[in-house]
Chain A
Amino acid sequence: MAGPNAVLQPALSRPRRARGRLFALVRFVVMLATTLLGLLAMTFFIGRVIPVDPVLAVVGDRASAQVVERTRIEMGLDRPLIEQFGIYVARVAQGELGQSVLTSRPVLDDIFRVFPATLELATYGTLIGVLFGVPLGVMAAVRRGGLIDQLVRVVGLLGYSIPIFWLGLLALLLFYAKLGWVSGPGRIDVVFEYTFTPLTGIYSLDALLRGDWSAFANIVSHLALPSALLGYFSLAYISRMTRSFMLHELSQEYIVAARAKGLPERTIIWRHALRNAAVPLVTVIALSYAGLLEGSVLTETVFSWPGLGLYITNALANADMNAVLGGTVVIGAIFIGLNLLSDLLYRTLDPRTRRR
């Protein structure tokens, strides 16, 4: 970390600094472990008290009483709850998330299959939200009560109140069925089913890596609607937050000072005010990104997008606990990871936090 503020850092001796870092790392690992354990415990017990018989998902409605009973024992459901949880945690600690009963596959494989689909959608959605939401929010704050401010208000209001399900269908009807501008539900056309082999599961990236331009165009055209939709909702939120952070900054004394100094308004807004507003904004963006990464069940349903949201919802409705818990671990890790990332960005953006 170099820069004008580097001199302000207290001069620590090398061994002390190393010890400090080690301590911070240990503290982080302990925090990570306890958070995940708590999360698992909560999910596990909630999953066991919901009034759904997990055996039903495995054997269906028609199995004989003996089959049901045998399966219950095979699944370990006859043991005390706390023991079941202990067994599960011990397995997770060994990196074993178990099998999903709904897909007959290891939960880890399932997550590697469904998560990239959600990651891709959430990333484009957030990019759209940030690229359009931040400038809109800034402009709304600068011209408070002006046209753009009204626009941001309406956009935000609609974003909060329109059911995403309805909007998704409407968008499909217009842009896909009527105008034919974009491709429909799913991630890629079936014609590519035999020519395009994914690498990472993030299709748009895979197509680029493979240099398959026709697949890339098709993938982007499939991505356009769902990511625009998620982007819109993220934009509605980010622009409102940007606006209020900016209003706060613009009322500060240093802005008056900057104006008195005769700095151009553009510099004051974009270089001074936004830079300070960016600090809390990073958290807002990170949390909205994490929210999208959980998977949006409704968007995934309308667009037949085989992502994490549908996977977990399906699993939960059928009490497929291995899958639910596996998904929870992933989501928990994402939240922790993004929190960590926004902390790191804080340090870059806010010089005061660097001293500690």
Chain B
Amino acid sequence: MTIDWGQLRRLQACLVIAATLSVPFAGRALAATPPDTLVQAWAIDDIIGLDPAEAFEISAAEMLGNSYDRLVRLDIDDPSQLVNDLAEEWEVSADGRTFTFTLREGMTFASGNPITADDVAWSIQRAVKLDKSPAFILTQFGLTPENVESRARATDARTFVFETDQAYAPSFVLNCLTANVAAVVDRQLVEAEARDGDFGNGWLRTHYAGSGPMTIRDWRPNEILVLERNERYHGEQAKLTRVIYRNVRESATQRLMLQSGDIDVARNLQPNDLDQIANLDTVRVISAPKGTIYYFSLNQKNPELAKPQVREAFKYLVDYDGIQASLIKGIGEIHQNFLPKGMLGASDESPYHLDVDKAKSLLAEAGLGDGFSITMDVRNTQPVTGIAESVQQTMAEAGVRLEIIPGDGAQTLTKYRARSHDMYIGQWGVDYWDPNTNADTFASNPDNADDSGVSTLAWRNAWDIPELTEESRAAVLESDTAARVALYDDLQRKVREQSPYVILFQQTEVAAVADGVQGYRLGPSFDTNYVYNVSKE
């Protein structure tokens, strides 16, 4: 075959013309989302599976909170209270160890199978036996794969009994049962898909078997997740037919899509993009404090950082107000305690502020009047990068030379968990809505040995605190709520004053919502960001 160059040239000319013509042809249809569909842009690429016994990621929590029922849920108007979900009523035995739940009548899963106490018991047993990441929320009550069948059991079709190994604060037990790991799955459906004793885990990661107000219709990783109304829901039907989550990572991209009407809600807007839409009357910004705390910590294996004066001095070397005014404007607020605002017993004391002179005298007291050099591992994302740079500047004023080591999330975390950092900046989100979740990590270190298998934040920073560990344990066993709150208040004060954590702020989750969307709310936790109450004009 030989090439006829004349012909090729004509062909080329045709293609050029075609390409030019296709530009006006590509004109866009009127941008509006369908009236029965809510379209949200959110970075949902953290989802690695949708099995409630396993999923522990932020966006997965929201999907499961909307699509799976559980015995009780948090009251989003007052998250220290509970509301019934599948349970009609429940009671605690006199010794505080046996919880008996009675289910509502006549409920079905989205598949049409009836919901029975056996499904509830099997779901709990399944989560304990699978023993995936969130299983500790249940196993901390003494449940093991061996005893769970007798400790979490159905006594008849409507009665579920849950026994703990000792008397805990009832609020603690019930709060833990609101978590996704205690969600109820459709036994008949899931068991049919079980392979090699995996309790259907392999299948459920990418499928749905629940009874919540929404069903999960489709999940294409890094691209889209679709929730659809569950027509068989036992409560009030969701108002919209479907809710679509589009994976959009860039804040600026999300803003443009919102302004163009291609999405109804933008979920990851950074302060500068929030500023840009602040004056639009077609968009409103909704926010809610979330249970995520940002902090940086000082590894006590480093002899300089282990000095109490240095720990205190560093708390005075942060420009809290400056950071609040720019870097976390709209997405966080100053908070200096390990319990997030809104949680039982949370303290709102914030005694620290930028005070270079005070820090200098503390450093001089520690024999470091001439300053010293130190490193900080920083994940390559905002706002932590910006905060680290700000801290670098304020520390320099007191002679502390801070070197920032940037890295990916998994990379900095690997180093942190191996205790080979000097300083680490990061965030900690609550695992379930009870103060113990944070007390158990910020103020508990049962064994400070390198190979102890403990991975609490106190351990990661080699902060050896037998008394505080004891006190945290006492708080979770205290059945009198007022006494429990007093214990957490004391713990927070001690951590604030002595700890190697410089607690910076509490995250505020922000959603920019287009006009015409009604009833959009953000809950206190990610699994309480309910979308089924949303409607459109």
Counting chain A CB atoms within 10 Å of each CB, the highest count among B12, B45, B222 belongs to: B222
B16, A189: Cβ atoms closer than 8 Å = no
* Complex: A221 Cα to B25 Cα, angstroms: 8
B1, A348: Cβ atoms closer than 8 Å = yes
B250, A302: Cβ atoms closer than 8 Å = yes
* Complex: A127 Cα to B16 Cα, angstroms: 10
* Complex: A4 Cα to B409 Cα, angstroms: 62
B23, A176: Cβ atoms closer than 8 Å = no
B166-185 near A? 1/0 per residue, CB < 8 Å: 00000000000000000000
8 Å CB contacts to B: which residues of A54-91? 56-67, 70
B133, A63: Cβ atoms closer than 8 Å = yes
Can you report 6 residue pairs joining A to B where beta carbons are below 8 Å apart? A2-B1, A105-B221, A177-B260, A190-B39, A190-B244, A191-B34
Q: With CB as the reference atom, state the residue of chain A lying closest to B437.
A: A62
Q: Is B259 on the interface with A (CB-CB < 8 A)?
A: yes
The stretch of B326-334, B391-399, B413-421, B489-497 in contact with A is B413-421
* Complex: A1 Cα to B136 Cα, angstroms: 70
Q: Which 6 A-B pairs have the closest CB atoms?
A: A65-B453, A104-B205, A221-B26, A103-B221, A306-B223, A63-B133
Q: With CB as the reference atom, state the residue of chain A lying closest to B26.
A: A221
Q: Chain B residues near A191 (CB, 8 Å)?
A: 33-34
Counting chain B CB atoms within 10 Å of each CB, the highest count among A62, A132, A221 belongs to: A62
Q: Which of A1, A56, A185 contacts B253 (CB 8 A)?
A: A185
Chain A-chain B contacts (Cβ-Cβ < 8 Å), number: 177
A184, B260: Cβ atoms closer than 8 Å = yes
Say whether chain A's binding surface is mostly helix, strand, loop, or mixed: helix
A110, B221: Cβ atoms closer than 8 Å = yes
Q: Chain B residues near A102 (CB, 8 Å)?
A: 48, 221
* Complex: A218 Cα to B27 Cα, angstroms: 8
A61, B246: Cβ atoms closer than 8 Å = no
Q: Chain A residues near B253 (CB, 8 Å)?
A: 169, 172, 184-185, 302-304
8 Å CB contacts to B: which residues of A82-117? 101-105, 110, 113-114
A341-353 near B? 1/0 per residue, CB < 8 Å: 0000000110000
Chain A interface residue count, Cβ-Cβ cutoff 8 angstroms: 73
* Complex: A102 Cα to B221 Cα, angstroms: 8
Q: Is B134 on the interface with A (CB-CB < 8 A)?
A: yes
Q: Is A20 on the interface with B (CB-CB < 8 A)?
A: no
* Complex: A218 Cα to B5 Cα, angstroms: 35
Q: Is A128 on the interface with B (CB-CB < 8 A)?
A: yes
Please name 11 further chain A to chain B contacts, defined as beta carbons within 8 Å, in addition to the given A62-B134, A64-B135, sorted by A numbering: A53-B414, A61-B413, A62-B431, A64-B136, A104-B205, A128-B19, A135-B12, A173-B256, A190-B246, A224-B22, A301-B249
Q: Is A232 on the interface with B (CB-CB < 8 A)?
A: no
Q: Chain A interface (Cβ within 8 Å of chain B)?
A: 1-4, 50-53, 56-67, 70, 101-105, 110, 113-114, 127-128, 131-132, 135, 169, 172-173, 176-177, 180-186, 189-191, 193, 214, 217-218, 220-221, 224, 270-271, 274-275, 301-304, 306, 310-311, 314, 317-319, 348-349
Q: Chain B residues near A186 (CB, 8 Å)?
A: 246, 248
Given A105-B206, A181-B23, A302-B250, is A189 in contact with B220 using a C-beta cutoff of 8 Å? no
B414, A193: Cβ atoms closer than 8 Å = no
B28, A221: Cβ atoms closer than 8 Å = yes
Given A131-B15, A181-B23, A190-B37, is A56 in contact with B410 using a C-beta cutoff of 8 Å? yes
* Complex: A110 Cα to B48 Cα, angstroms: 13
B131, A184: Cβ atoms closer than 8 Å = no
* Complex: A304 Cα to B40 Cα, angstroms: 13
* Complex: A311 Cα to B415 Cα, angstroms: 24
Q: Chain A residues near B250 (CB, 8 Å)?
A: 169, 301-302, 304
B26, A224: Cβ atoms closer than 8 Å = yes
Q: Chain A residues near B222 (CB, 8 Å)?
A: 103, 114, 306, 310-311, 314
Q: Chain B residues near A101 (CB, 8 Å)?
A: 48
Q: With CB as the reference atom, state the residue of chain B lying closest to A225.
A: B26
Q: Chain A residues near B453 (CB, 8 Å)?
A: 64-66
Minimum CB–CB distance for A288 against chain B, Å? 18
* Complex: A61 Cα to B410 Cα, angstroms: 9
* Complex: A101 Cα to B202 Cα, angstroms: 11
Given A2-B1, A104-B48, A131-B16, is A317 in contact with B410 using a C-beta cutoff of 8 Å? yes
Q: Chain A residues near B256 (CB, 8 Å)?
A: 172-173, 176-177, 184-185
B442-476 near A? 1/0 per residue, CB < 8 Å: 00000000000111000000000000000000000
* Complex: A193 Cα to B132 Cα, angstroms: 33
Q: Is B270 on the interface with A (CB-CB < 8 A)?
A: no
Minimum CB–CB distance for A141 against chain B, Å? 17
* Complex: A128 Cα to B16 Cα, angstroms: 9
A65, B454: Cβ atoms closer than 8 Å = yes
Q: Chain A residues near B45 (CB, 8 Å)?
A: 314
Given A4-B2, A57-B48, A310-B222, is A270 in contact with B25 using a C-beta cutoff of 8 Å? no
* Complex: A173 Cα to B45 Cα, angstroms: 24
B131, A66: Cβ atoms closer than 8 Å = yes
A56, B28: Cβ atoms closer than 8 Å = no
8 Å CB contacts to A: which residues of B152-169? none
A220, B25: Cβ atoms closer than 8 Å = yes
Q: Chain A residues near B478 (CB, 8 Å)?
A: none
Given A57-B410, A221-B26, A270-B9, is A113 in contact with B220 using a C-beta cutoff of 8 Å? yes
Given A105-B221, A131-B16, A348-B1, is A51 in contact with B415 using a C-beta cutoff of 8 Å? yes
Q: Chain B residues near A301 (CB, 8 Å)?
A: 249-250
A306, B413: Cβ atoms closer than 8 Å = no
Given A190-B246, A301-B250, is A181 in contact with B28 using a C-beta cutoff of 8 Å? yes
8 Å CB contacts to A: which residues of B118-146? 131-136
B246, A184: Cβ atoms closer than 8 Å = no
Q: Chain A residues near B5 (CB, 8 Å)?
A: 270-271, 274-275
Q: Chain A residues near B224 (CB, 8 Å)?
A: 193
* Complex: A274 Cα to B133 Cα, angstroms: 63
Q: With CB as the reference atom, state the residue of chain A lying closest to B139.
A: A64
Q: Which of B34, B132, B220 contacts A67 (CB 8 A)?
A: B132
Q: With CB as the reference atom, state the residue of chain A lying closest to B134.
A: A62
B410, A62: Cβ atoms closer than 8 Å = no
Given A181-B27, A221-B28, is A169 in contact with B56 using a C-beta cutoff of 8 Å? no
B262-303 near A? 1/0 per residue, CB < 8 Å: 100000000000000000000000000000000000000000
Q: Chain A residues near B134 (CB, 8 Å)?
A: 62
Q: Chain B residues near A184 (CB, 8 Å)?
A: 253, 256-257, 260, 262
